[in-house]
Structure 1
Amino acid sequence: MKLWLPFAASAGALLAVASFVGAGWDAPPVASEQLGFRGTGMFQHKDIETEAALKAANVVPPAPWQADPSGDKASDLYQNVQVLGHLSGDQFNQLMAAMTEWVSPEAGCNYCHNPENLASDEVYQKVVARRMIQMTQTINVDWKSHVAETGVTCYTCHRGKGVPAQVWSSSLEPKPAGNMTSNRNGQNVVAVNAGNSSLPQNALMDYLLGDKPIRVHANTALPTGVNTVGTMETEGTWSLMMHMSESLGVNCTACHNTRAFNDWDQSPPQRVTAWHGIKLARHLNVTYMEGLTPVFPANRKGPEGDVLKIGCATCHNGVQKPLYGVSMLKDYVDAVAVKGSTDVPDFSTYVPGKTEVLGGAATSVTQP
C-alpha cells in the first residue's frame, strides 16, 4: 500500500472544505452571458454577489431641486463667474448645491470657497473645479463617440470624495536596490493599475498620457521583419489591457474575439467605443490635468511629483457603463451639456491664498 495516498486524500478533503468555509475563499453563484457567436468562447462571467455590491455603490443621487431656467443670469447676480455665467441664478445655485454633495459633502462650500469672499479664487480647489467644469462640458459636447447621450457629471468620478478614488500617477516605488536591479523597466513589482500583476507599472504614462502605439499583434506565426515590436512593447500593451479590464469589470471578450485580437471585423462594437475612450482619457490628461500642475499642492500629486491623472477606472469604477448607464444630464443640461467659456488662464501665475481673480469673466455659450 502506498502510504502517501491517505495523506493526499486527507489534504484533498481539507482543501475542499476550506474552499467553502475558509477565510478568503469563495464559491459564489456566477452569471454567464454569451457575447459572440456560439463556438467562439465569448462569454462574460460575473459574480452575482459582487454585482449586487457594485449596483449598491452606483446609485445615482437625485437633483437637489428642479431648477428654474428663467430669471437673471448668474453673471449678473454674482462676481467672477467665468464658465457658468449663462445659467439662471436658480440653475447656478442648483449646480453648486449638487457639486457640494458630489465632491465635498462634509466640508461643504468652504472646500472651494473663502466663506468671507465667495467670489475669490484664493482657494485652489475653486480654480481646479472651474477647469473641471470646462472638462465635463467638453466631454459631453465633443466626445459623444464615447459617452453617447448618457454623458458625465462631477459625480461620475468623484462619488462624494474631493479626489476621485480611481486616479493614477507615475510611480517608481519600490525604488530598486541598485546594481543589476536598477533598470527593471517598471516591472517585477505589483502594478496596481494593471490588475496587481507584474506587468509594467507605468504603462498608462505611455498610452493615456503619451500616444505610444498600442497595436502589437503580428499577422504571421513567425517573424518576417515587418512587425518590429518585441516583448517589451507587448507587455506594455498587455498592462493597458489589464487596466481596462479591471476598470470595467470585464474580460477580453468585451472588446475582442480572442481568436483574432487584431481583426476589427470580428470584434464587438464595444471595441470602437473603447478606442475612443483611450483617446478621450489621453486628451483629458494632456489638455486638462497636466495644465493644472502649477495649481496643485505637493500633497495632491503623485510620489514622483506629477499630477493625479484620469484612467478608465476613474469614471467606470468597476462597471462596464459608469453608473450602469443611468444619465444624470437631464437635471443639469444647461450647466454641463453645453460649453461655457473655453478660455484657459495662465495657471503658472496662480498663488494660492492670494490670487483673487484668475483669468477673465467671459460668459459666451457654445451649443452642442
Structure 2
Amino acid sequence: MSTLNAALRVMSMLGAGLLLSACERPPIDTVQRGFRGTAMVEVYNPRILEGEQEKNVVPAATPAAPREGQKASEVYQNVKVLGDVSVAEFTRLMVAMTGWVAPQQGCAYCHNLQNLADDSLYTKVVARRMIQMTQHINADWKAHVADTGVTCYTCHRGMPVPAEVWFQPAPQKHALRAAGNKMAQNTPDAAVAYASLPYDAFNRYLLKAEDIRVNTSTALPTAPYGSMAATEATYGLMMHMADGLGVNCTYCHNSRAFAPWKESTPQRVTAWHGIRMARDLNTTYMEPLTDTFPPHRKGSEGDVAKVNCATCHQGAYKPLYGSSMLKDYMALSAAGAQAALPPQPAAGAAPGQ
C-alpha cells in the first residue's frame, strides 16, 4: 500500500508540474487602463519585464560627421543608395551599420574587401534593399512609426538575422492519416504564443490580405464577418501581437466590447497600420529577394525570412521602449533626406555660426 501511495504522490506531483508549466510564477502587477469595472487592466510580470530590458538598450550613437563636402556617389563606385550624403557621413553610417548587423563579421559580411564596389556577395545586395526598406518605413509609414522611426538596429540588435522572423510553416497532418489534416492548429507554436490556434496567421494576414474577423456565430463563411475558422486565425494573430509587444488585449481593445472602434484605445489604430505595414514590407521587399538568398537562409518551404510584429518590438510595447535612433542617422529617414539638411555646425560653434 505504501508503494502505491508513493506512486500516487509522484504522479500527482508530475501532474501538478505539467499543469503549472504553462503558468507564469508570481509576482504579478496590474495597471488600470480604463474605467473601473470594465476589466481594462494590463497585467505585467516584473520578472519578465526585467529580462526584456537588456535587449532593448539603445547603443550609443557614433560621433556626428560633417554633412559638407563631396557626396559618396561622387567618390565611390556603385553607390546606389545613400549616394546623396557626404563621404564622411556615408562612412559613419557604414560603421554604425556594421555594429548594428554584423559586429563579429565586420565589413566582410557584406563586402568583398578586395573590391568594395563588387556586388558578388548576396548580403550586400540584401543590405542595399534593406536600407531602402528602412527609408520607406520612415517616410511612408509614419502612421505606425511616427517620428520615432526605425533603423537597422531596431530589428537586428547586433545579429545578421533578426531574432524574430518567420517562414512559411510546413504542412502537418495527424499521426493517424484517418484523422485528416490538422488545419494548421492544435500544435502549440511560438507563432501564436503556444496556444492551440492556427499557426499560419502570418501567412494569412502579414503576407496575404485576408480579412481579419472575429465576430461570427457560424462555421460557414457568412457576410460580413466570415467563418469560425477565420475567427480562430484572427485570435492566432492577436496572440502573436500581444506576445510580441509584451501586452494584454486591453492595450488595444476594451475587453467588454472588443469589436467597436469607438470603445478601443488609440493603440488599436496604430496596430491597424502596423499590420498593413508588415504586409507591405513582406510583399514589396522580402519576397522579391527570394532568388537572392542562398538555400541555407531560407525556410523549409523555400521562402525567405519575413517580418512580423515581434521583429521590431521584441517583447516591448514600443521598440526599444520608444527611444529614437533615427534622429542621429537622418539619412535613413527618407531617400534624399540628408541632402536637404542644413550643414552640421562645427564642434564648439555657437548656434547660427
> For the superposition of Structure 1 and Structure 2, which TM-score range results when normalised by the shorter chain?
0.7 to 0.9
Shift of 1:202: 1.1
User: After superposition, where does 1:34-49 map in structure 2 within 5 Å?
Assistant: 34-49=32-47
User: After superposition, where does 1:63-142 map in structure 2 within 5 Å?
Assistant: 63-142=61-140
TM-score w.r.t. the length of structure 1 is 0.83
Q: Between the two structures, name the one with larger relative contact order (CA 8 Å, sep ≥ 6).
A: 1
Answering whether residue 332 of structure 2 is matched by residue 336 of structure 1, we say yes
Measured against aligned partners, the alpha-carbon deviations of 1:284-324 in whole angstroms (never above 9, x if no partner) come to 00000011011001111111111110000000000110000
Instruction: Quote the residue 1:190 is aligned against.
Output: 188
Answering whether residue 263 of structure 2 is matched by residue 263 of structure 1, we say no
Question: Which of 241, 248, 271 is the equivalent residue of 2:245?
Answer: 248
How many residue pairs match? The answer is 329
Note if contact 2:173-2:181 (Cα within 8 Å) is conserved in structure 1.
no
SS in 1 for 2:44: strand
SS in 1 for 2:52: helix
Choose 29-38 or 258-267, whichever is displaced more. 29-38
Shift of 1:52: 1.8
Instruction: Say what the alpha-carbon RMSD is for the aligned residues.
Output: 2.8
Note if contact 1:83-1:340 (Cα within 8 Å) is conserved in structure 2.
no
Note if contact 1:199-1:236 (Cα within 8 Å) is conserved in structure 2.
yes
Instruction: Quote the residue 2:162 is aligned against.
Output: 164
Choose 254-263 or 167-176, whichever is displaced more. 167-176
Measured against aligned partners, the alpha-carbon deviations of 1:59-104 in whole angstroms (never above 9, x if no partner) come to 1001222121111100011111001100101110111001100100
TM-score w.r.t. the length of structure 2 is 0.86
1:63 partner amino acid? A
User: After superposition, where does 1:1-368 map in structure 2 within 5 Å?
Assistant: 27-172=25-170, 176-177=174-175, 179-218=177-216, 226-227=223-224, 229-333=226-330, 335-340=331-336
Shift of 1:196: 1.2
Provide structure 2 residue ranges, at least 5 long, that are not aligned to the other structure.
342-353
SS in 2 for 1:166: coil
Alignment partners' CA distance in 1, 2:69 and 2:78? 19
Note if contact 2:85-2:339 (Cα within 8 Å) is conserved in structure 1.
no
1:74 partner amino acid? A
Shift of 1:176: 4.8
Change (3 A) 1:32 1:176: same
SS in 1 for 2:269: helix
Change (3 A) 1:226 1:210: closer
Alignment partners' CA distance in 1, 2:304 and 2:246? 26
Measured against aligned partners, the alpha-carbon deviations of 1:174-218 in whole angstroms (never above 9, x if no partner) come to 565462344222112222200012211111101000000002314
Alignment partners' CA distance in 1, 2:186 and 2:99? 41
Instruction: Quote the residue 1:356 is aligned against.
Output: none
